[in-house]
């Protein structure tokens, strides 16, 4: 039976070494409609995240609190940074992936595949070779709440890889119901992708799959890495030890590299996404429905997560 202590629910003793038992969950902000896409800027000492329905991106800084980073945001959802430190964002409104240049200019990285518009890019990661990987479910075109209602032009809901040299876009995974969060293992040999299709079909999967990835970017066979017992997987990150920390209906679930549930951090609102930040990347920032939360951990985030 799991052991519960304050905000922590321990399912495996390994989890005890990953948490700071005296660290409480801090609510840093609470005026969002659906908070998403947190990304840490270590050089600026700030967190940038999306408030999708409110058409804005917010900036949180220790000591200064919240300010507006961008409004309107084109219904931006997931965010990350590339190897040059530039912000890369998934925009539901434009059905595209963009990069914010150092001077503030916006560069479109991808908005179509094989001559047809993307669905609504959701989450994105950039790995050490500069390639951009993103998921493309249909959440942003299902209604006018998080984007603009439209019929999908793509026949499937894919995971894409954008080559940094040629700009070529490849659909590397095409068999998801609704691909959502994604992240790589620390050695970049495994790609993890969440399937959140149970959001609109209770019989659909609520799991995270793991894919073998070759050095040339070829994606091989997959396996079900883990299944959630509460809610569905949305955004997630890995720590330096290969543990996977994912959003869930009752908080944050932590799975070991073997796919076993180690423990939970209980959060009073449905969690959408998370990232590690702070000067030592040992602070877990959590976007959960209306709020931004944070809690210190005894591990450190993987910078390419």
Binding site for a divalent metal cation, by residue number, is 36, 180, 234
Place of tokens 């390419």: 304
- Cβ contact 57:70 at 8 Å: yes
Tokens of 170: 């490849």
In angstroms, the CA 34 to CA 158 distance is 23
Q: Would residue 31 show up in a list of annotated catalytic residues for this protein?
A: no
- Cβ contact 125:304 at 8 Å: yes
Q: Which residues are annotated as a binding site for substrate?
A: 122, 146
Of residues 136, 195, 234, 239, which has the active-site annotation? 234
In angstroms, the CA 126 to CA 39 distance is 12
In this structure, what is the dihedral angle of CA atoms 213, 216, 217, 222, given to the nearest 10 degrees? Answer: -30
In angstroms, the CA 221 to CA 219 distance is 7
In angstroms, the CA 147 to CA 234 distance is 18
Handedness of CA 86, 92, 93, 97 (dihedral sign): positive
Catalytic residues: 234
């Amino acid at each position: 039976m799991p052991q519960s202590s304050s905000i922590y629910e321990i399912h495996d003793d390994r989890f005890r070494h990953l948490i700071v038992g005296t660290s409480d969950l801090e609510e840093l902000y609470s005026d969002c409609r659906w908070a998403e896409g947190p990304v840490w800027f270590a050089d600026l000492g700030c967190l940038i995240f999306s408030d999708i329905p409110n058409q804005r991106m917010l900036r949180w800084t220790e000591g200064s609190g919240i300010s507006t980073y961008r409004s309107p945001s084109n219904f931006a959802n997931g965010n990350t940074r590339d190897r040059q430190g530039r912000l890369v964002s998934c925009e539901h409104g434009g059905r595209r992936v963009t990069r914010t240049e150092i001077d503030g200019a916006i560069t479109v990285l991808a908005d179509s595949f094989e001559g047809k518009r993307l669905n609504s890019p959701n989450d994105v990661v950039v790995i050490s070779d500069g390639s951009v990987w993103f998921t493309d479910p249909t959440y942003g075109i299902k209604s006018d709440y998080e984007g603009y209602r439209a019929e999908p032009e793509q026949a499937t809901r894919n995971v894409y890889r954008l080559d940094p040299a040629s700009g070529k876009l490849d659909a590397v995974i095409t068999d998801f119901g609704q691909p959502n969060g994604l992240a790589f293992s620390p050695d970049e040999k495994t790609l993890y992708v969440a399937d959140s299709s149970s959001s609109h079909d209770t019989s659909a999967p609520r799991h995270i799959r793991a894919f073998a990835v070759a050095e040339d970017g070829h994606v091989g066979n997959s396996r079900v890495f883990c299944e959630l017992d509460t809610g569905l997987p949305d955004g997630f990150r890995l720590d330096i030890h290969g543990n996977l920390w994912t959003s869930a209906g009752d908080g944050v679930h932590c799975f070991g590299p073997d796919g076993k549930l180690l423990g939970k951090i209980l959060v009073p609102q449905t969690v959408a996404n998370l990232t590690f930040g702070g000067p030592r990347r040992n602070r877990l920032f959590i976007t959960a429905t209306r709020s931004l939360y944070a809690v210190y951990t005894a591990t450190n985030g993987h910078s390419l997560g």
